[in-house]
């Protein structure tokens, strides 16, 4: 059999102790998918454990009637397992570019589920606090109407919701003490960015995704930022404060790259960014923020003890994360001690391990256990 992906599968590892071929096909996974796995699956929750257990069952169900097959390559399949879309390749025999017959998981994405009629597409909204809480309405032009803005999207377990996102972010902005309440004035701009903007699902679109404009995502947000630039490039007056939640950090990372391509050297000096449980490495983010001339503050990084996914993105590249904190002028020395322990495990005992019998699930459990009360 030829290699359908031109991928070297010999570095893939066993998904779980029970998927080593004892019953059914062995199930392997790309070890680099660990941060994305933890982004998508909370193994501390009942739903997360159920999804992980169903992935174990690929040893007997892979390429069955519930899966979708690639029409140009019958070895490639994908199927929704819980809230996760799993892509994999099935080999019936061993060869020089795999570890033998088995199922090889190559990609994990969010399965956005079935959205209700009230679902809104990705894009730019104004969120106002009314009698019934935070609501949203589309912003029809290219102006940013508020001082305070938010970037991200909340997943409720089955689908994304702009209303849920506005309510959660609005509550944070009202109560965290991090946002200036006079500047907030009971309204903020929301760039609603579900994960399909990150995963780039291409032709595989739900009805709600089809409503999003063709440029929705980093390209549209970059254009909005560009349109906000002052006529006088010397004007450095801080006018916009953006709070970036969770996977919104991935969108911002790509947005700033897009902005650099269209800005012709102009700078985002009037914009300041704050990160709440960012699911992207702080060092990589700060590199792009510096490149476009935007601002951060000592309070630009906030994390919750229970947000494991955000921490994994920092320890994945601990040195860069600490550099990012230093550039924010944040209290990096304390974080340095916390980040580097996990980073050492990720790089030396997980990614660079020569133990071919190690399992992906064991590493995920170890991360969650170490980070539950801190950084490990």
Is position 206 within any domain? yes
Q: What is the CA radius of gyration of the chain?
A: 22
Residue 47 and residue 181 in one domain: no
Phi, psi dihedral angles at 300 (to 5 degrees): -80, -5
The full DSSP string for 169-182 is: HHHHHHHSS-S-HH
Domain tally for the chain? 2
Torsion of CA 202, 87, 309, 99, to 10 degrees: -140
> Which spans in the chain are helix H?
34-40, 46-56, 58-61, 162-175, 181-184, 196-199, 207-211, 218-227, 248-262, 282-292, 308-315, 318-327, 332-344, 360-371
Is position 368 within any domain? no
The pLDDT of residue 279 is 93
Residue 138 and residue 102 in one domain: no
The pLDDT of residue 70 is 43
Q: How far separated are the first and last CA of the chain, in Å rounded?
A: 44
- Pairing relationship of beta strands 240-245 and 271-276 according to DSSP bridges: parallel
Residue 71 and residue 185 in one domain: no
Picking from 243, 274, 302, the residue at the C-terminal end of a domain is 302
The pLDDT of residue 331 is 65
Residue 172 and residue 72 in one domain: no
Strand partners of residue 138: 125
Domain residues for the domain of 23 are 9-111
Residue 175 and residue 270 in one domain: yes
Is position 357 within any domain? no
31 vs 350: CA distance, rounded Å: 8
Picking from 302, 326, 353, the residue at the C-terminal end of a domain is 302
The answer to whether the CB of 305 falls within 8 A of the CB of 374 is yes
Picking from 81, 111, 141, the residue at the C-terminal end of a domain is 111
Cα angle 359-360-366, degrees, rounded to a multiple of 5: 95
Strand partners of residue 124: 191
Is position 174 within any domain? yes
Residue 65 and residue 213 in one domain: no
Q: Give 156's DSSP letter.
A: -
The pLDDT of residue 192 is 95
pLDDT averaged over 10-residue windows placed end to end, the chain, 376 residues: 70 95 92 92 88 90 51 65 90 92 93 62 94 94 95 87 95 89 96 80 43 66 95 86 95 95 95 94 92 90 81 87 82 71 82 89 83 54
Residue 91 and residue 134 in one domain: no
Is position 322 within any domain? no
């Amino acid at each position: 059999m030829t290699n359908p992906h031109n991928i070297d599968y010999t570095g893939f590892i066993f998904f779980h102790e029970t998927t080593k071929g004892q019953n059914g096909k062995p199930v392997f996974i790309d070890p680099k998918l660990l941060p994305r796995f933890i982004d998508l699956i909370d193994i501390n929750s009942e739903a997360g454990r159920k999804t992980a257990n169903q992935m174990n069952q690929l040893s007997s169900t892979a390429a069955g009637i519930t899966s979708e097959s690639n029409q140009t390559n019958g070895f490639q399949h994908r199927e929704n397992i819980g809230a996760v879309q799993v892509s994999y390749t099935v080999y019936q025999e061993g060869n020089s570019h795999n570890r033998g017959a088995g199922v090889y998981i190559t990609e994990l994405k969010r399965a956005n589920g079935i959205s209700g009629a009230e679902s809104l597409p990705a894009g730019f909204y104004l969120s106002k606090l009314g009698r019934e809480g935070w609501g949203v309405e589309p912003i029809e032009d290219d102006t940013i109407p508020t001082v305070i803005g938010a970037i991200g999207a909340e997943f409720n377990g089955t689908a994304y919701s702009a209303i849920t996102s506005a309510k959660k972010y609005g509550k944070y902005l009202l109560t965290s003490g991090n946002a200036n309440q006079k500047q907030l004035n009971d309204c903020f701009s929301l760039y609603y960015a579900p994960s399909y903007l990150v995963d780039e699902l291409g032709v595989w679109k739900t009805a709600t995704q089809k409503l999003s404009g063709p440029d929705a995502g980093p390209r549209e947000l970059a254009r909005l930022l560009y349109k906000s630039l002052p006529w006088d490039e010397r004007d450095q007056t801080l006018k916009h404060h953006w709070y970036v939640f969770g996977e919104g950090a991935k969108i911002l990372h790509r947005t700033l790259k897009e902005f650099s391509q269209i800005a012709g050297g102009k700078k985002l000096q009037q914009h300041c960014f704050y990160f709440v449980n960012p699911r992207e490495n702080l060092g990589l983010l700060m590199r792009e923020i510096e490149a476009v001339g935007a601002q951060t503050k000592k309070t630009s990084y906030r994390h919750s003890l229970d947000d494991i996914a955000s921490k994994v993105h920092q320890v994945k590249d601990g040195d860069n994360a600490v550099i990012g904190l230093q550039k924010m002028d944040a209290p990096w020395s304390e974080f340095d001690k916390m980040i580097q322990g996990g980073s050492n495990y990720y790089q030396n005992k997980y990614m660079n391990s020569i133990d071919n019998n190690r399992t992906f699930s064991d590493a995920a459990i170890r991360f969650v256990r170490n980070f539950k009360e801190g950084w490990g």
